[in-house]
Structure 1
Amino acid sequence: MTYPNAKETVQLIKDLVSIPSPSGNTYEVISFVENFLSELKVETKRNRKGGLIATIPGKDQGTHRMLTAHVDTLGAMVKEIKSNGRLKLDLIGGFRYNSIEGEYCEIETATGEKITGTILMHQTSVHVYKDAGKAERNQDNMEVRIDAKVHSAKEVRELGIEVGDFVSFDPRVQILPNGYIKSRHLDDKASVGILLELIKQIVTEQIELPYTTHFLISNNEEIGYGGNSNITPETVEYLAVDMGAMGDGQTTDEYTVSICVKDASGPYHYGFRKKLVEIAKENDVDYKLDIYPYYGSDASAAIRSGNDIVHGLIGPGIDSSHAFERTHISSIENTTKLLYHYLQSS
């Protein structure tokens, strides 16, 4: 049995994380995915929110499945242009200021120009500020140092920067010889890469799916509503392919596929969960069951929106989620294998 080449998937993930796409500004990465699928001659359409839906007809066209992964990422917006020529930020998505301290960033102006900078504490210099190490990392104390000769709000505006401009973070992606992938935004571009390579294999090998299957590449998951719409009335099963969160008390690791049994929204569908476990066992897929206490997915958003569906959540294990993330090619492989067999299951 042949699965999608994991090394090719990892290279695709590298391409995806290198495209800035904070929630609210995802046009470029959606276009990238759209072009990828267009070359495969897969039917796609954009929804009004800017997400992309790809559809592969199945043997049974009266029963549908939907899988979703999201390309939107954490990011920020210019909240204020300060009198010293620096920028105050407002965060997009659920993370903490300490996780972006010292990070390179990019400000995209309304005209599309991109200007680089660095996110720093105002009190960074230990030679000047006595409380440099103790000051709270928050909106008031952190700022963007723009890579331009500016000393006032007027000079910043002359560059074209204004309140509301999107700020993206340098992914700092690295693919290591021992199989580790380090990068920001593996949540959830690792899963997007997995789905795209699976679609490629289905199309090129002319694999007939048992049911018509929709793949939603959503673009507002980090702010809570990416995959809550455009679900056909025929859709029975809805599977979010996101990430497994790691930490104290968690079973998820960087080498297996994580099957979520419950998150902040409550339990996922018990029957669907057991079905995924059965598929994993039958096909020698390494998996872990886990609960994510401070987590919500596109599948839980779809349930909250009133859709009458069976919902589930799986994904590769990601260390240090919403910060300096890392996974391993083994987790990519196991997630791919589970999805490969699920898509062909009855």
Structure 2
Amino acid sequence: MTNSKEIFTLIKELVSIPSPSGNTARVIDFCEKQLGGLGFEMQRNKKGGLLVTIPGKNANQHRMLTAHVDTLGAMVKEIKPNGRLKLSMIGGFRWNSVEGEYCEIETDSGEIFTGTILMKQTSVHVYKDAGEAKRNEDNIEVRIDERTTSAEETKALGINVGDFVSFDPRVQITNSGYIKSRHLDDKASTALLMLLIKAIKDEGLELPYTTHFLISNNEEIGYGGNASISPETVEYLAVDMGALGEGQSSDEYTVSICAKDSSGPYHYGLRKHLVQLAKDHNIDYKVDIYPYYGSDASAAIKSGYDIVHGLVGPGIEASHAFERTHETSLINTEKLLRAYVMSTITTY
């Protein structure tokens, strides 16, 4: 069984690679390099996601598991007359969650500039409404760490409309067993899938069914895992975060099994199978409903695939903002994933 130090190390590496949806080549390169020496069939789909296939005893019925490496981020919407940048969101976050955050701007040529995301009314010594002004795209701007006070000077740096902006993850691992960072959604689960693939190789495990692992790269914008699904696929399990908050049953210490999200109920038979596996293997779990949520699995269903779909993942506090989870949630998720890939497909 993988230890928490190994899990934390891989998560830290993943969150430290900027990968807003639409600009994920670097992190996919990293995943491909990490998994490339294992000898499994591996290919990139046309969207740029990474697909790893492990043959199983049964080649007529397949499984698919997915996690995504694309993250929230932004694009340069406008270069303002003062040389600062107006942003357009990538993914569903709120402006207040990135106020004061350090960021990187990547130009078309690959040059990186740093900056800070701020309200234009930040200084309380100048702006009477510094606290009350709306946190929105009209008031939020990027202060670039370069000597620029005009649109012309910013453009001369090579910064243009359409350049990607990524947020500093600020990753920290605590002595009390927490990892806190932006983009644990969904790089925490990506790390778990990568380590599971490695464990299957290292331990010589023979899977009961041919199993595909998709590291998708467009989930935050709704369509990362809705393709590259073989016609033999019976079950599709998205491995994403459990959403925490008031009224939720999930927490930072158990694996969350989703019963329903904004797309509707997940497959009841698969959900019961996952719950039974958790009970059989003494895995701490919670069943939950995520009211404002969608996954790669629900995207695949909406695309018309005739599959059984499910969703599990570690509980992530403060999703799409200042995220955190505990090592026990990661370990419980890893245990359930291992039990699942070795289990028998239920007749639904």
* Structure 1 segment 223-238 matched on structure 2, within 5 A: 223-238=221-236
For residues 269-296 of structure 1, the C-alpha deviation after alignment (integer angstroms, 9 at most, x for no partner) is 0000000000000000000000000000
* Structure 1 segment 273-292 matched on structure 2, within 5 A: 273-292=271-290
Residue number in structure 1 paired with 2:9: 11
* Structure 1 segment 288-307 matched on structure 2, within 5 A: 288-307=286-305
Letter in 2 for 1:323: A
Letter in 2 for 1:310: V
Structure 1 stretches lacking a partner, 5+ long:
none
Partners of 2:232 and 2:38 in 1: CA distance: 25
Letter in 1 for 2:278: A
Cα distance, 1:4 vs structure 2: 1.8
TM-score, normalised to structure 2, is 0.98
Partners of 2:102 and 2:308 in 1: CA distance: 41
Residue number in structure 2 paired with 1:325: 323
SS in 1 for 2:31: helix
Cα distance, 1:10 vs structure 2: 1.2
Aligned sequence identity (%): 72
SS in 2 for 1:206: coil
TM-score, normalised to structure 1, is 0.99
Cα distance, 1:343 vs structure 2: 0.6
SS in 2 for 1:66: strand
Partners of 1:30 and 1:141 in 2: CA distance: 34
Partners of 2:92 and 2:38 in 1: CA distance: 35
**Aligned residue-pair number:** 344
SS in 1 for 2:291: coil
Residue number in structure 2 paired with 1:178: 176
Cα distance, 1:7 vs structure 2: 1.6
Runs of 4+ in 1 over 6 A off after TM superposition: none
Q: Could you say what the CA RMSD is over the residues aligned between the two structures, in angstroms?
A: 0.5
For residues 233-275 of structure 1, the C-alpha deviation after alignment (integer angstroms, 9 at most, x for no partner) is 0000000000000001000100000000000000000000000
SS in 2 for 1:144: strand
Partners of 1:70 and 1:266 in 2: CA distance: 21
Partners of 1:219 and 1:316 in 2: CA distance: 19
SS in 2 for 1:216: strand
* Structure 1 segment 55-204 matched on structure 2, within 5 A: 55-204=53-202
Residue number in structure 1 paired with 2:44: 46
Partners of 2:257 and 2:271 in 1: CA distance: 7
Structure 2 stretches lacking a partner, 5+ long:
none
Cα distance, 1:170 vs structure 2: 0.1
Partners of 2:203 and 2:62 in 1: CA distance: 21
Residue number in structure 2 paired with 1:214: 212
Cα distance, 1:39 vs structure 2: 2.1
Partners of 1:289 and 1:47 in 2: CA distance: 32
